[in-house]
């Protein structure tokens, strides 16, 4: 039986608000976006990109369908009178003899393409085009790293492991923020994508955005490790795995002393590579440092040595013994943005301890 660690129930409320639009395409867009998070959790970055491309396509079509279904129907289908009749079924019902005709319900078999759908929606919301078109769609011969180009390449030829950093970039810098903006615009700000996808999980999308921005600033190519805390938080929320309890080093949940002994063993291992004097302890943002037996085991944050002279505590590593999230100093930008601002009391007491205050 899967356990979901729910930190707020807003996603249920948000789903209800979305129901008011009575659009199976909007519902489907959220389902696709949620499915993409599972693919990210399962390390299927390319497939997650494909899923988000689907999410965007159906959300765009959902918006056009709110005006009329005819706007998303494939041009060839529109040449058939039978299709037109189905599309205009309601109008026929208002005609004195037309209402006697037997007209089947409209069934969408072929719809317009992604690009066409985007351009039609962008006409409704000026501003969408200049910000997003290039990131979403490639014109001939340019932007070979647009979301939809990557999607087509993955669909037809399979994903390339060496491009995973680029896929990650399109996922967090393009797909999620575009969907977020689209939902904002379409619902006048009343339905929020982060709430739909659970805001504590969406937090990690923003962490990944910051990591990729830092890498760009340092002229380093995008790296898929930016998605690591998103993966971890997603898995932890829905399954509470990985955790020490799934390790070979199994411990008895009920016995506090077992936990303590376990943590001591883990600390010895950790401090073989980390300088213990450069660590502080905080609540883990993923598992709240709560192993579920009433005890409380704080996570370790490794600090940068050089910036301590200036009284700056800069996280460069993170390790939680409860949910097993480990961010190595090689992934320092991730540690920095995932941990965020350290609590003031932690900073003050650390600086006092090392005699800087
Ligand atoms: Zn944790």
The pLDDT tens digits for 267-287 are 888 999 999 999 999 999 999
Radius of gyration of the chain (CA): 25
Contacts of residue 251, Cβ cutoff 8 Å, sequence gap at least 6: 244, 245, 258, 259, 261, 262
For residue 287, report the distance from its CA to the centre of ligand 1, in Å: 4
For residue 336, report the distance from its CA to the centre of ligand 1, in Å: 16
Give the residue-averaged pLDDT of 324-339.
Answer: 96
Mean pLDDT, the chain, integer: 90
For residue 321, report the distance from its CA to the centre of ligand 1, in Å: 7
Query: Is the confidence at residue 247, as pLDDT, over 50?
Result: no
For residue 194, report the distance from its CA to the centre of ligand 1, in Å: 21
pTM: 0.87
Decide which of 96 and 140 is more confident: 96
Q: Which residue has the tokens 């199994």?
A: 250
Confidence bin at 144 (pLDDT 50/70/90): confident
Query: Is the confidence at residue 101, as pLDDT, over 90?
Result: yes
For residue 207, report the distance from its CA to the centre of ligand 1, in Å: 16
Confidence bin at 322 (pLDDT 50/70/90): confident
Compute CA distances 244 → 146, 247, 317, 328, whole Å: 40, 5, 19, 18
The answer to whether the beta carbons of residues 297 and 263 sit under 8 Å apart is yes
Residue 243: per-residue pLDDT:
56
For residue 92, report the distance from its CA to the centre of ligand 1, in Å: 61
For residue 152, report the distance from its CA to the centre of ligand 1, in Å: 37
For residue 267, report the distance from its CA to the centre of ligand 1, in Å: 15
Residue 46: per-residue pLDDT:
98
Contacts of residue 298, Cβ cutoff 8 Å, sequence gap at least 6: 281, 282, 283, 284, 289
What tokens appear for 150 in the block? Answer: 């990557």
Decide which of 356 and 54 is more confident: 54
**Of 30-44, 107-121, 165-179, the least confident:** 107-121
Query: Is the confidence at residue 1, as pLDDT, over 50?
Result: no
For residue 312, report the distance from its CA to the centre of ligand 1, in Å: 24
Query: Is the confidence at residue 2, as pLDDT, over 50?
Result: no
For residue 98, report the distance from its CA to the centre of ligand 1, in Å: 65
Closest by alpha carbon to 169, among 213, 231, 229, 233?
A: 213
Residue 242: per-residue pLDDT:
60
For residue 14, report the distance from its CA to the centre of ligand 1, in Å: 27
Confidence bin at 3 (pLDDT 50/70/90): low
For residue 243, report the distance from its CA to the centre of ligand 1, in Å: 9
For residue 298, report the distance from its CA to the centre of ligand 1, in Å: 8
For residue 290, report the distance from its CA to the centre of ligand 1, in Å: 8
For residue 323, report the distance from its CA to the centre of ligand 1, in Å: 4
For residue 285, report the distance from its CA to the centre of ligand 1, in Å: 7
Q: Quick one: residue 110, left, alpha or beta (phi over 0 = left, psi -120 to 50 = alpha)?
A: beta
Give the residue-averaged pLDDT of 325-351.
Answer: 96
For residue 201, report the distance from its CA to the centre of ligand 1, in Å: 14
Query: Is the confidence at residue 201, as pLDDT, over 90?
Result: yes
Decide which of 143 and 357 is more confident: 357
The answer to whether the beta carbons of residues 89 and 99 sit under 8 Å apart is no
Give the residue-averaged pLDDT of 45-56.
Answer: 98
For residue 125, report the distance from its CA to the centre of ligand 1, in Å: 41
Distance, CA of 217 to CA of 215 (rounded, Å): 5
Confidence bin at 178 (pLDDT 50/70/90): very high
Give the residue-averaged pLDDT of 215-239.
Answer: 95
For residue 32, report the distance from its CA to the centre of ligand 1, in Å: 27
For residue 324, report the distance from its CA to the centre of ligand 1, in Å: 6
For residue 269, report the distance from its CA to the centre of ligand 1, in Å: 17
Confidence bin at 345 (pLDDT 50/70/90): very high
Distance, CA of 68 to CA of 212 (rounded, Å): 39
Residue 249: per-residue pLDDT:
47
Q: Which residue has the tokens 């008011």?
A: 20
The pLDDT tens digits for 210-219 are 999 999 999 9
Distance, CA of 138 to CA of 119 (rounded, Å): 13
Query: Is the confidence at residue 43, as pLDDT, over 90?
Result: yes
Burial class (CB within 10 angstroms; exposed 0-12, middle 13-18, buried 19+) of 48: buried
Q: Which long-range contacts (CB under 8 A, 24 or more apart) does 296-302 make?
A: 297/259, 297/263, 297/321, 297/322, 299/325, 300/267, 300/270, 300/274, 301/335, 301/339, 301/342, 302/274, 302/275, 302/278, 302/329, 302/335
Query: Is the confidence at residue 332, as pLDDT, over 70?
Result: yes
The pLDDT tens digits for 255-269 are 456 677 778 888 888
Neighbours of 226 (CB within 10 A): 29
Distance, CA of 44 to CA of 154 (rounded, Å): 12
For residue 282, report the distance from its CA to the centre of ligand 1, in Å: 10
């Amino acid at each position: 039986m899967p356990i979901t660690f729910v930190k707020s129930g807003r996603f249920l409320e948000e789903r209800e608000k979305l129901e008011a639009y009575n659009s199976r395409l909007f519902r489907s867009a959220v389902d696709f976006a949620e499915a993409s998070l599972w693919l990210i959790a399962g390390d299927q970055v390319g497939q997650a990109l494909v899923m988000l491309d689907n999410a965007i396509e159906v959300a765009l079509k959902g918006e056009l369908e709110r005006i009329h279904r005819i706007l998303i129907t494939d041009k060839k289908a529109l040449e058939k009178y039978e299709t037109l009749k189905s599309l205009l079924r309601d109008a026929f019902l208002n005609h004195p003899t037309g209402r006697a005709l037997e007209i089947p319900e409209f069934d969408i078999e072929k719809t317009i393409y992604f690009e066409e759908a985007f351009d039609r929606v962008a006409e409704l919301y000026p501003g969408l085009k200049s910000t997003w078109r290039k990131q979403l769609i490639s014109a001939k011969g340019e932007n070979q790293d647009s979301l939809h180009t990557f999607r087509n390449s993955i669909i037809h030829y399979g994903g390339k492991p060496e491009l995973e950093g680029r896929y990650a970039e399109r996922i967090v810098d393009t797909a999620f923020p575009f969907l977020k903006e689209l939902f904002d615009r379409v619902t006048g700000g009343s339905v929020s994508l982060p709430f739909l996808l659970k805001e504590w999980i969406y937090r990690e999308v923003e962490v990944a955005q910051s990591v990729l921005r830092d890498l760009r600033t340092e002229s380093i190519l995008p790296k898929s490790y930016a998605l690591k805390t998103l993966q971890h938080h997603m898995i932890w929320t829905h399954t509470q795995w990985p955790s020490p309890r799934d390790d070979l080093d199994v411990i008895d949940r009920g016995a506090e002393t077992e936990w303590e002994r376990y943590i001591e063993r883990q600390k010895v291992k950790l401090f073989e590579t980390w300088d213990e004097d450069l660590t502080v302890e905080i609540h883990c943002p993923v598992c709240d440092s709560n192993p579920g037996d009433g005890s409380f085991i704080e996570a370790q944050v490794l600090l940068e040595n050089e910036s301590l002279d200036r009284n700056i505590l800069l996280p460069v590593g993170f390790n939680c013994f409860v949910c097993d999230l480990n961010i190595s100093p090689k992934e320092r930008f991730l540690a920095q943005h995932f941990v965020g601002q350290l609590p003031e009391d932690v900073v003050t007491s650390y600086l006092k301890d090392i005699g800087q205050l």
